[in-house]
Structure 1
Amino acid sequence: MRNFLRSILASPPRILVLGFAAIILLGAGLLMMPFAHTQDVTPRFIDTLFTATSAICVTGLVVVDTGTYWTTAGQLIILSMIQIGGLGFMTMATLFAIALKRRISLKERLVLQEAFNQTSIEGIIRLVRKVVIYALSIELIGAILFAIRFMFDMPTGEAIYKGVFHAVSFFNNAGFDIMGDYRSLVDYVGDPMVNIVAMLLIILGGLGFVVLADLVDIRNPKRKLSLHSKVVLSMSGFLIVAGAVIIFIFEYTNGRTMGPLGFGEKILAAFMQSVTPRTAGVNSVDIGALRQATQFLLVIFMFIGASPGSTGGGIKTTTFTALIGAVIAMVRGKEDVVLFKYRLAQERVYKALTVTLFAFGLVITATMLLSTVEDQRFLMILFEVTSAFGTVGLSMGLTAQLSVAGKIIIILMMFIGRLGPLTLTYAIGPKQGRMLYRNAEGKIIIG
């Protein structure tokens, strides 16, 4: 038995998978306690499991309204799971180990390397310290700004509480809100302060901690932005601006969303809806009322997601950039994929293609399965599945209507989306030995 457990825990991907699963089960159990919910009847385990998975996987899809169904204690349990899920349970464990002055073992460093998607363990503990400092600092500033604004609409204590909750939720790209009645930020659609603070929290959480560390160190004249940071910043900026322009055009005359808003409010709403599908799950207009073209655009954005080492999901901006670079190189007849005058290793392009095809296959399979158990429009089902895989949390209204089978499918998609399809594959699959030979080269006709 001891050898069996040792073999299971020998793989960093398996430790991550089992660790996340254990915390989800613990959270689901806590949410079933009488002090966690406002109803007299104990919630079904499938509903608490769904909520716990959504919180740990920083998704934001909910089967019950967070602001009214759960008590303050229940909401704090959810908030704790969001923080653990956003930073990673190994980050939290390492933080406690550092506080207790305990040595971090090689295996723990390897797990952290897997969790942050790093290429080596060099400087991984310094990165953990930076992650915690940056996250808590940004969340604190966001909470203060939110609280100041909310004080105009509610008592001071409630304003501070909601400020903290939404700052942590938005920075971790979780999308949970306690505004009540599934409202999210609809009541603040034209409020500049709420929208700008929310978007900054979402963007900073989605850039990735490596990029944040790079941006902080850029003050040093001897330091330059890494290729990774340049790719993340440029692609993130392009997607946000391009998405806002397209949404502004598509929804300008939609009487159920942006039509009744003033010109400035339409710009705010367009940018918010462009930022949020990059795994945040916050909305300031009714997602179900958007035009189908806009909804499909959000599906594409949710599939792309945030950036590596961040609190977001999806195939990641760097993966998308590598694919675009490969297409451009092929069209131009070039052998190498070049980004910012740097050549990408062929292995990186293969990995980008593998991640994308894995993700595409998972979304297609889950969409087909969900279509068999839920009698809803195809776009609504595709939207729900992609939102779960990208750990986004946006919904066209299907989540609360899901059957038990549908909830299980979405739970699995949230779990896979948070860990990443490759991490799960490495955890489940056997360890491959080194190839001792290469097959003869063959040729097929492509295109």
Structure 2
Amino acid sequence: MAVTPPFLARFRHPAQVVATGFGLAIGIGTSLLSLPIATTSGESAGWVAALFTAASAVCVTGLAVVDTEAHWSVFGEVVIAGLAQVGGLGIMTMATLFTLLVSGRLGLRARIAAQAETKTLSMSDVRRLVLKLVLFSLVCEVIAAALLTGRFLIGYGESLGRALYLGGFHAVMAFNSAGFTLWPDSLMRFVTDPWICLTIAGAAIIGGLGFPVVFELARYWRQPRKWTVVTRVTVVVTAILLVAGTLIFLVTEWRNPRTLGALDDSGKLLAAFFTAVMPRSAGFNSLDISQMYPSSWLTTDLLMFIGGGSAGTAGGIKVTTFGMLAFIIWAELRGESRVNIGHRRLPEATQRQVITITVLGLTLVAVSTYVLLALTPHRLDQVLFEVVSAFGTAGLSTGITASVGPAGHVLLTILMFIGRIGPLTLGSALALNRRARHYELPEERVIVG
């Protein structure tokens, strides 16, 4: 007989489990980071700093109110890395794995909860998928850690222990799109180092694509016709955003002496590509974001809002949502009654979800920007950047994170939480049951526009 974990039995909707799981992880992380042993000074970090850092780690964001290496001890840094790992894999993925290890069986309710977290379309393969997911994540992190460790060891003269620590920490952060670094300038000191930048960018791209997409690409990489709609949209939109972002940053910042202007041509191309990858939720920066032109900030805002793959470690409304929204708009402009993507029709329920997620995201960003503007003396473009970064769990900042005050930190924490679990997931978690309508009202045409 299948075993259902006791804590899952208390919830009537899988989305509630996801939201509660992330909340519990943030609470545990806050408690651990509040301990004196977690800081280099041996004093408690305070609940605001601990809460913000824990939420940023679990929600794989990377925004920080203190210098990670200077403020947190090795214990604190390991806690942050652990929280990022848990957040990247997903609370429900980890819970499902633990259930398998303890009981060897997986109950129906646990499968449903895992399905809600991993975004799989069939519950029958959840058990096998979770095991593959964890194994794939660890393999990718080990490969990235090995490459980074080798570079720190050979190219920068670090000791073996220090190189292993730096390589492992940043591999976890890169693959899980967390964005925490052990340097105060993020990765600006490595702006022209392709070994480090491309390794971190590659790990962030793979983690951000989403596990179902990566598995499908590995299985049918020679047969694109067998790709599902999700895989096609994710791959195509991701490629378009990476290429477009790189070109826009190259054109915009080419002559900016405080960013790309000081680099040679190959360095400019590498830095522009890296800067285009990071807003997809990775959170690292090799250029000084505070010195970028406002037009580059706006481009970054758009990329952060879109985010990465639907079942990946990235945040935002997701590239699949953005891609399907484009098809919905195109079908409406052409006067078509159905939305088709390739040789498949997009269900009306999915169309409503796409529009709902986009509108909720825009509304949340607009309201939060207004509130943060009222709480701080910063400019609109700076505040908007900070809000979108928190909502998209991107972790990039123009440098105002530490100065928004306790109320601003709480607001950004809430944004990171909502951005990680998704507006629609949070909404469904609050609604215990879907209301069934047993009748239909007469239809009336309404003038729009």
What residue identity is the alignment partner of 2:128?
Answer: R
2:215 aligned with 1:213, yes or no? yes
1:52 to 48, 51, 54: 54
Say what the alpha-carbon RMSD is for the aligned residues: 1.6
Moved over 3 A (4+): 5-8, 219-223
- Equivalent pair of 1:205/1:310 in contact (CA under 8 Å): yes
What residue identity is the alignment partner of 2:280?
Answer: R
- Separation in structure 1 between the aligned mates of residue 409 and residue 224 of structure 2, nearest angstrom: 51
Q: How does 1:219-234 map to 2 (within 5 A)?
A: 224-234=226-236
What residue identity is the alignment partner of 2:290?
Answer: G
- Separation in structure 2 between the aligned mates of residue 222 and residue 263 of structure 1, nearest angstrom: 35
Unaligned runs of 5+ in 2: 1-6
**More moved, 408-417 vs 325-334:** 325-334
User: Which residue does the alignment assign to 1:162?
Assistant: 166
TM-score for both structures, normalised by structure 1:
0.96
2:86 to 66, 84, 87: 84
- Equivalent pair of 1:217/1:223 in contact (CA under 8 Å): no
Residue 33 of structure 1: CA displacement? 1.3
Residue 139 of structure 1: CA displacement? 0.4
Q: How does 1:231-242 map to 2 (within 5 A)?
A: 231-242=233-244
SS of the residue 1:393 aligns to = coil
- Separation in structure 1 between the aligned mates of residue 19 and residue 429 of structure 2, nearest angstrom: 7
Residue 156 of structure 1: CA displacement? 1.7
Q: How does 1:161-200 map to 2 (within 5 A)?
A: 161-179=165-183, 181=184, 183-200=185-202
- Separation in structure 2 between the aligned mates of residue 41 and residue 166 of structure 1, nearest angstrom: 26
- Equivalent pair of 1:8/1:14 in contact (CA under 8 Å): no
Q: How does 1:326-405 map to 2 (within 5 A)?
A: 326-405=328-407
- Separation in structure 2 between the aligned mates of residue 336 and residue 10 of structure 1, nearest angstrom: 34
- Separation in structure 2 between the aligned mates of residue 81 and residue 43 of structure 1, nearest angstrom: 17
Residue 384 of structure 1: CA displacement? 0.6
Classify 1:301/1:333 alpha carbon distance in 2 versus 1 (closer, same or farther; 3 Å): same
CA deviation profile, 1:75-94 (whole Å, cap 9, x unmatched): 00110000000001221122
User: Which residue does the alignment assign to 2:119?
Assistant: 117
Residue 220 of structure 1: CA displacement? 8.4
User: Which residue does the alignment assign to 2:3?
Assistant: none
User: Which residue does the alignment assign to 2:33?
Assistant: 31
SS of the residue 1:100 aligns to = helix
What residue identity is the alignment partner of 2:107?
Answer: S
- Equivalent pair of 2:9/2:109 in contact (CA under 8 Å): no
CA deviation profile, 1:189-241 (whole Å, cap 9, x unmatched): 01111111111001001000001110221268799322211110010000000
CA deviation profile, 1:321-347 (whole Å, cap 9, x unmatched): 111111111222222222223221122
- Separation in structure 2 between the aligned mates of residue 325 and residue 222 of structure 1, nearest angstrom: 20
Q: How does 1:254-269 map to 2 (within 5 A)?
A: 254-269=256-271
- Separation in structure 2 between the aligned mates of residue 23 and residue 329 of structure 1, nearest angstrom: 42
Q: How does 1:295-334 map to 2 (within 5 A)?
A: 295-334=297-336
- Separation in structure 2 between the aligned mates of residue 120 and residue 435 of structure 1, nearest angstrom: 27
What residue identity is the alignment partner of 1:75?
Answer: E
Classify 1:434/1:32 alpha carbon distance in 2 versus 1 (closer, same or farther; 3 Å): same
- Separation in structure 2 between the aligned mates of residue 198 and residue 222 of structure 1, nearest angstrom: 27
**More moved, 344-353 vs 310-319:** 344-353
**More moved, 111-120 vs 236-245:** 111-120
What residue identity is the alignment partner of 1:129?
Answer: L
- Separation in structure 1 between the aligned mates of residue 212 and residue 63 of structure 2, nearest angstrom: 27
User: Which residue does the alignment assign to 1:290?
Assistant: 292
Residue 429 of structure 1: CA displacement? 2.4
SS of the residue 1:95 aligns to = helix
Residue 117 of structure 1: CA displacement? 2.5
- Separation in structure 2 between the aligned mates of residue 327 and residue 419 of structure 1, nearest angstrom: 26
SS of the residue 2:161 aligns to = helix
Residue 48 of structure 1: CA displacement? 0.1
Classify 1:219/1:40 alpha carbon distance in 2 versus 1 (closer, same or farther; 3 Å): closer
- Separation in structure 1 between the aligned mates of residue 237 and residue 391 of structure 2, nearest angstrom: 20
User: Which residue does the alignment assign to 2:4?
Assistant: none
Count residues with an aligned counterpart: 441
Residue 149 of structure 1: CA displacement? 0.5
TM-score for both structures, normalised by structure 2:
0.95
Unaligned runs of 5+ in 1: none
